Structure 1
């Protein structure tokens, strides 16, 4: 039977630095799969902030003392908190991992009071969606003029980035503003196709 107390250890030393705009500081993680998840969190409007490699905890299972560190602690915009364990699709389907995760899920719910969730990152290292997030990341803090905002709100049907620029004056909208519209959710697009001048975009309110 598991113990009903989780004793904290010091933080695990991470290995990959990630410059977080949402947290306004460097975050650290241990794998490229986790980096993909951090990119997703940066673009997720329901996540207020997050912390990677939070406290490690000791617990007892099968008579042995063990230690576990969740990958991420998240705070939602609604004030709720949850922990995440980030895995690739292959890692998440390993039977030994599933048994351990089920055990820890129940333990965190009983003892910590915040859920431990399994997240399968949607951004594998070489996929187009990850490349799009990496490209659009620089535009997350871009500000818009009233003119560019009006142009984007008027795109009711799919148009290429190039055609929008051709139909508008430079004073109305720029390529950077269109890409920022994609990054900040004002415009929609097929996320699994590489973003470029020939990407079809449309107003997010007109889906």
Structure 2
């Protein structure tokens, strides 16, 4: 199912005192997406790092159904469109809520599963157990450089040195660029930006990012 932001009905998100709300600047979508909880924001961050994700939308689907002879509706939290594979409808809930409100939520989830089946989609849930906390912190750190302005001269110097060396730590790379710590500080944001842009490889999924993190050129 192809996502079309203009054709899908949306629920107008409402701020509540129980939720942390805000706008997430999405690189993949080239716009900001509204989130109603930190967990929704967490999902958005992880999607930015998934190479198979083409785009995603917040609360784009309205599912109408009857409950006890009354008309009601349900809005799943996210619709993800992949480069390969079926699109997914995602409901974002903390694991405690999934347990405590299981019976009530299952009614909505069954409607979502039926809708997904009828529209060639997959329905799934996302909770805090779906992402390792250290990996998330690394993702959040790298994503903070996603919109950093480019500096072609600095970036080319960084890439040239990595091309000449199989693998370097962040500190080793900066030392080869310059011994001046103030100048090193000017180059560092571009190292992280190049990592986010996938021009430089760094194992952010298993090891906490620091100045000893190993870098190598992404030749893929």
TM-score (norm: length of structure 2): 0.69
In the TM superposition, 1:112-131 aligns within 5 A as 112-121=119-128, 122-123=130-131, 127-131=133-137
Larger strand share, 1 or 2 = 1
Match of 2:11 in 1: 11
Match of 2:117 among 98, 110, 122: 110
Cα contact 1:123–1:130 (8 A) shared by 2: yes
Match of 1:43 among 32, 44, 49: 49
Higher relative contact order (CA 8 A, sep 6+): 1
Match of 1:197 in 2: 211
In the TM superposition, 1:153-168 aligns within 5 A as 153=163, 156-157=166-167, 159-168=168-177
Offset, 1:111:
2.7
Cα contact 2:76–2:89 (8 A) shared by 1: yes
In the TM superposition, 1:3-152 aligns within 5 A as 11-15=11-15, 16-61=22-67, 65-78=71-84, 80-94=86-100, 95-96=102-103, 99-100=106-107, 103-121=110-128, 122-123=130-131, 127-141=133-147, 143=150, 145-152=155-162
Offset, 1:64:
5.0
CA separation of 1:182/1:10 partners in 2, compared to 1, >3 Å: closer, same or farther?
closer
Cα deviation digits, residues 140-188 of structure 1 (max 9, x gap): 255563332243456645x4321221133479x9212221233233322
Worse-matched range after superposition: 97-106 or 133-142: 97-106
Matched, 1:188 2:202: yes
SS in 1 for 2:24: strand
Offset, 1:69:
0.5
Structure 2 portions without partners, runs of 5+: 1-7, 16-21
Structure 1 portions without partners, runs of 5+: 1-7
Worse-matched range after superposition: 34-43 or 104-113: 104-113
Q: How many residues were matched structurally?
A: 194
CA RMSD in angstroms, aligned pairs only: 3.4
